[in-house]
Structure 1
Amino acid sequence: MKIEWAPVKVSPRRRLQTLVTAFFTFSFFTLPLVSLIILAMLLYYGGIIVRTLVPIYLVYVYYDHKKNHSAVDGNGWLFNRNNAFNRNYRDYFPVELVKTADLPPNRNYILASFPHGVLGTGICINMGLDIGKWLSLFPQVRPKVATLDQHFITPLLRELLRSWGLVSVSKESLTYYLSKSNDPKHSDNRDGFTSNAVAILVGGAQEALDTHPGKYILTLKNRKGFVKLAIRTGSPIVPTFSFGEVDIFDQVNNPPDSLLRRIQTLVKKLTGISPLIPVGRGFFNYTFGFLPHRRPVVQVVGAPIAVKQSAQPTAEYVDEIHGQVIAALELMFDKHKEKYLAGSKNIKLVIQ
């Protein structure tokens, strides 16, 4: 393997961006395990006070998640969602956000987000870690990113995710946010915001398994739960597409009929998590490592698809709205791919 080395002379700004990106990438891959290790160390090495506080904290985590879905109302801890440190992570790629239609703040929204990629980087940055651009484009609309429910019963990890505006993707949690009042006078809206926009990476772990540079393979045809939820809560569905998301990481080759894919699929069924083996770049080379490549990611936010609220949506109506989502994504991809993807003529959208 021929190694492509990074240049020796790199600006301090780019080095800082690389360090910040390394921090976030390492955190995303290891935080669940690290959180449990820290907790075990506190119980083993801590004094009597620490050993007393840890069980109290664990009981709090259990009951808070069971009762409140670990919810953080409003925009949460803004100091951790809009700062210069996080902006270096955005600028590393860079990640952009493009608005194509207004999102009136008199509704709550489901953002049907594609593709998942390895980490869902575009969505996480624009709607979680550095939300200044979002707040300027969509005033009075709170951005939230939904992720695996089990993360919110993992001590310590849950606190960091909540500080970044992430929420549980469980049906109960999503219903909680999507059913919030849009009345400016309601006590929940004292922060000046009257709408919640919850991004769901619909393709999930299955779609992540198909992530390879230049391949836009969406897992959507049989994913209709988000449509049913939208209809039950009366929430418009906003299709959003992150161009370049699949290009920042590759992964070890795992065709559908390979042994590796079969193992990955088994682990996914047991845990809900895809055990990916990502391939990126290193600190001093562009050939291999755990860092993502410096390639632009552009999240395009489409127009909301209105739904008629119904507590018991019919299968025909669910299929109708689901078809509109697919059509909107296909149109969005064809309209914007030439602008945001190099070699776009050879890139096709596959929906399975």
Structure 2
Amino acid sequence: MKIDWAPVHVPPKRRLQTLAAGLYVLIFMALPFLSLMITSLLLYYGNYFWKLIVLAYLTHIYFDHTRNYSDIHGNGTHFSLKLMRNNCVWRNFRHYFPIELIKTVDLSPDRNYILASFPHGIIGTGISCNMSSDIEKWLQLFPGIRPKIATLDMHFYTPILREMLRYWGVVSVSKESLMYYLTKSNHPKHPDNLDGFTSNAVAILVGGAQEALDSHPGRYIITLKRRKGFVKLAIRTGCPIVPTFSFGEVDIFDQVDNPPNSYLRRFQTLTKRLTGISPLIVLGRGFFQYTFGFLPQRKHIVQVVGSPIEVEKNDAPDPEYVDKIHQQVIDQLNEMFDKYKTKYIENGKNCKLVIN
């Protein structure tokens, strides 16, 4: 195999961008396993002092996570926003690809929103940057609206990783958590709004782990046809649904070919059913060469935020009404994809959006 080496003389800013991308991959791909391994080793080999510390921390995690949602997952104070969600590390990460955020319409800050986001890609890189780690651009385009991303509840039981997710404004995708954040008071003088925000925009990667299994460069395959839970949630809370689409998301990583019914796909599907996580064999680039590794490729990512789809609030959503709103989401995604694919996807004229 011929290795395509990176040039020797690379501008320092590009080296910094590569380091930031490496840190991102380490956090999302390696940190969960490293933290669990370190915790297990300390419990097994550590002395009584370290065992006591670890047990106290694990106890704190359990009771802290089962408390009221207003006390966990980090609302994002000015300090945490500056320290974790708006700094030079994540700005370098944004410029590595680069990642853009495009607004098509204004969103009023006097109400909460559900952002139905596609595609998931391997690790949802574009939306993670725009609505979690580097939110300066979001705050410029949508002032007063607090950006949050919903992820698997199990991540908030993972030592160390949970602390980082909280300060990035990430919340649990559990029903209780989403109901809390989508029904919070939007009154400017409400105690929860002392940080200057008046509403929440909670992004849900609807396709989840299943969609990640279909992520390959140039293939836009999203999982949506049978995913209607987010629509029911929107109706119960009265929150508009805002479809968003991240062009280029599937191009930054490839994975080992896993066609349906292959042995690898069967194993991945079984693991996903048991754990909620898809075990992907990721193919990227390295720090000093472009042939193999776990770093993402430098591909342009553009997250386009669509128009709100209004819903009528109802505690018991009617199935026909759910199907109607669900179809509106599909229609807007198709329209958005056809409108922007030639602008934001390389050779986008031949790309098709497949909805499973």
Q: TM-score, normalised by structure 2?
A: 0.96
The whole-number CA distance in structure 2 between the counterparts of 1:31 and 1:43 is 18
Q: CA distance change for structure 1 residues 37 and 73 in 2, over 3 Å: closer, same or farther?
A: closer
Gaps of 5+ in 2: none
Alignment equivalent of 2:209, drawn from 198, 205, 209: 205
Residue identity opposite 2:75 in structure 1: G
Q: CA offsets, 1:61-82, max 9 Å, x none? A: 1112122357335324211010
Aligned to 2:24: 24
8 Å CA contact 2:210–2:278 kept in 1: the answer is: yes
Deviation at 1:22, TM superposition (A): 0.8
Residue identity opposite 2:164 in structure 1: L
For 1:106-255, what aligned pairs fall within 5 Å after superposition? Answer: 106-255=110-259
Deviation at 1:47, TM superposition (A): 5.4
Alignment equivalent of 1:302, drawn from 298, 303, 306: 306
Q: TM-score, normalised by structure 1?
A: 0.97
The whole-number CA distance in structure 1 between the counterparts of 2:17 and 2:5 is 18
8 Å CA contact 2:116–2:205 kept in 1: the answer is: yes
Gaps of 5+ in 1: none
User: Percent identity of the aligned residues?
Assistant: 66
The whole-number CA distance in structure 1 between the counterparts of 2:217 and 2:52 is 49
Q: Give the alignment's Cα RMSD to 1 decimal.
A: 1.4
The whole-number CA distance in structure 2 between the counterparts of 1:73 and 1:317 is 34
Aligned to 1:274: 278
1:7 aligns with 2:45: no
Aligned-partner SS, 1:338: helix
The whole-number CA distance in structure 2 between the counterparts of 1:311 and 1:51 is 47
Alignment equivalent of 1:337, drawn from 332, 341, 355: 341
Deviation at 1:160, TM superposition (A): 1.2
8 Å CA contact 2:74–2:169 kept in 1: the answer is: no
The number of equivalent residue pairs is: 352
Q: CA offsets, 1:15-73, max 9 Å, x none? A: 11111111111221111111112223444565554433332222221112122357335
Alignment equivalent of 2:268, drawn from 264, 269, 275: 264
Aligned-partner SS, 1:110: strand
Q: CA offsets, 1:3-25, max 9 Å, x none? A: 32211111111011111111111
The whole-number CA distance in structure 1 between the counterparts of 2:40 and 2:346 is 48
The whole-number CA distance in structure 1 between the counterparts of 2:268 and 2:195 is 43
Q: CA offsets, 1:183-208, max 9 Å, x none? A: 11211111121100011100000000
The whole-number CA distance in structure 2 between the counterparts of 1:155 and 1:351 is 36
8 Å CA contact 1:74–1:189 kept in 2: the answer is: no
Q: CA offsets, 1:95-122, max 9 Å, x none? A: 1100111110111111000000001000
Aligned-partner SS, 1:299: strand
8 Å CA contact 1:71–1:173 kept in 2: the answer is: no
Deviation at 1:243, TM superposition (A): 0.2
Aligned-partner SS, 1:254: coil
The whole-number CA distance in structure 1 between the counterparts of 2:40 and 2:273 is 27
The whole-number CA distance in structure 2 between the counterparts of 1:124 and 1:265 is 24
Aligned-partner SS, 1:67: coil
Residue identity opposite 1:210 in structure 2: D
The whole-number CA distance in structure 1 between the counterparts of 2:158 and 2:288 is 34
The whole-number CA distance in structure 1 between the counterparts of 2:116 and 2:47 is 47
